[in-house]
Amino acid sequence: MRVFAHRGYSGKYPENTMLAFREAEKAGTDGIELDVQLTKDGQIVIIHDETLDRTTTGTGWVKDHTLKELKALDASVIKGGTCPPERIPTLEEYCDWVKGTKLITNIELKTSIICYPEIEEKTAEMVRAFGLEDRVIFSSFNHLSALRMKELLPQCPVGALVENNDLQFAGYYCHKYGFDFYHPDCHLLTKANVDNCKEYSIGINTWTVNDLGMFETMVEWGVEGVIGNFPGVPKAWLKAQG
Ligand code: G3P
Ligand code: MG
């Protein structure tokens, strides 16, 4: 069972910041899940929303701001002043840090609302530049975008993210269309679908697993990975089992 820190250690630290990523590693996480979008000048930045308002001191669309403008913002405000100022990280900054760790990274391409020019190509190039091909999993709610990553980097696993539903026969679906993983909302996932994924050798990384009851169910069902806001908690639980 792999534990991924959802947007870093976002339960305690500002989501999708280097602070949240570093703290997740300190907490013993196996991997980190993060979200990528593109700036006005075509740089890949790590931020969940297409807009700046919820998590930073800025307003408006990410795509309408240059990297320089975004770097002037404080991305720690989501934690209500409990953390020091944090900048929106670029994917390049993240890759430069993560290459010195043993962490796996789930890069989620936020390509469902904005169709960012060449975000897939730029992301693939970044992963290649840092030699991280054997330590990334790509995913997206936009399955065409996720499968584009498979064309660009065939050696990298790709996950089919789904929201608001649990795909019927998810294992068959992933097998048929070329996904390696199924990434469902844990609250909607059924045991029947876990079994269907096993039948087709499709791994499951499910989100957002934030309580131990849900985590225990996922362990019992033999899910390959959980993505949660408090990665230290499931890691401690697994250690306690011996
Ligand atoms: O990738 C898993 C999860 O992060 C998907 O939902 O909205 O948190 O990006 P969201
Ligand atoms: Mg995400």
pLDDT tens digit sequence for 41-57: 999 999 999 999 999 99
Residue 232 — very low, low, confident or very high, per pLDDT cuts 50/70/90? very high
CA torsion sign for 239, 133, 186, 201 is negative
The ligand 1 atom at the shortest distance from the C-alpha of residue 159 is: 1
Residue 162 in contact with ligand 1 by CB distance below 6 A: no
Residue 100 — very low, low, confident or very high, per pLDDT cuts 50/70/90? very high
Name the residue ranges covered by the structural domains of the chain: 2-240
Q: How far is the CA of 242 from the centre of ligand 2 (A)?
A: 30
CA distances from 39 to 29, 36, 47, 60, 90 (A): 29, 10, 11, 12, 10
Give me the percent of the chain exceeding a pLDDT of 90. Answer: 95
Tokens of 228: 């949660």
pLDDT tens digit string along 118-128? Answer: 999 999 999 99
Which value, in Å, is the radius of gyration of the alpha carbons in the chain? 17
Distance CA 38, CA 241 (A): 42
Residue 165 pLDDT exceeds 90: no
Nearest CA to ligand 1 atom 2: 207
Active site (annotated) includes residue 48: yes
As a whole number, mean pLDDT of residues 126-135 equals 98
pLDDT tens digit string along 168-186? Answer: 899 999 999 999 999 999 9
Distance CA 111, CA 98 (A): 23
- Looking at the domain covering 2-240, what would its CATH class be? alpha beta
Q: How far is the CA of 201 from the centre of ligand 2 (A)?
A: 23
